[in-house]
Amino acid sequence: MTEQERLAFWTKALNLPGFRVVHERRARPDDPVSFTVVPAEEVACCPGCGHACATVHRRHDSKPMRDLPLGLQTVNLIVRTPQFRCDRCESYFTPSYPAIAPGAHATERFLEQAARLIRFSDIANVAEFFAVPSNSLARWYYDYVERQQQTLPAKLKPIKSIGIDELSLKKSIASS
């Protein structure tokens, strides 16, 4: 298996939307596996002017982030994010990615799974299960719940009709 085939395999196995694996590192078999991932698209929309930008000013490697384990194997991600330079408005920006939780060293899907487990257990047990410090998991969890509550109203639809119990309406009219 060539290096490219191995990285393509890990990209498919990791199944992180919008990213591809460019490097895999593991010192010993019982150590966490570290994947360096990059965005699949090398173009981003400038938040200032809305222009599509492909000029990368520099790249930044994140600190290791937790992702869902692969079986019993702990997975850490190093996200290599590009900082773009907009040629139109001459500004610099780093895009955000929905798969990566803002302000946490974890992916959204990791936090989603941790939140599911916390509903049945508690933060300390889930932190021990995922081998994460409980203070960090608590902070990530509460930030995750707050983000979910902020996005919840956007999913609601306006009320188009109200159902009225006709029998109750007839009784109240008849008794009046």
Q: What is the 3-state secondary structure (H, E, C) of 71-112?
A: CCEEEEEEEEEEEEECCCCCCEECCCCCCECCCCCEEHHHHH
pLDDT digits (tens, 9 = 90+) for 113-123: 999 999 988 89
pLDDT digits (tens, 9 = 90+) for 119-158: 988 899 999 999 899 999 999 999 999 888 887 665 667 7
pLDDT of residue 138: 92
Question: What percent of the chain is predicted at pLDDT more than 70?
Answer: 88
Phi, psi torsion values for 69, nearest 5 degrees: -70, 155
This prediction has a pTM of 0.76
SS3 153: helix
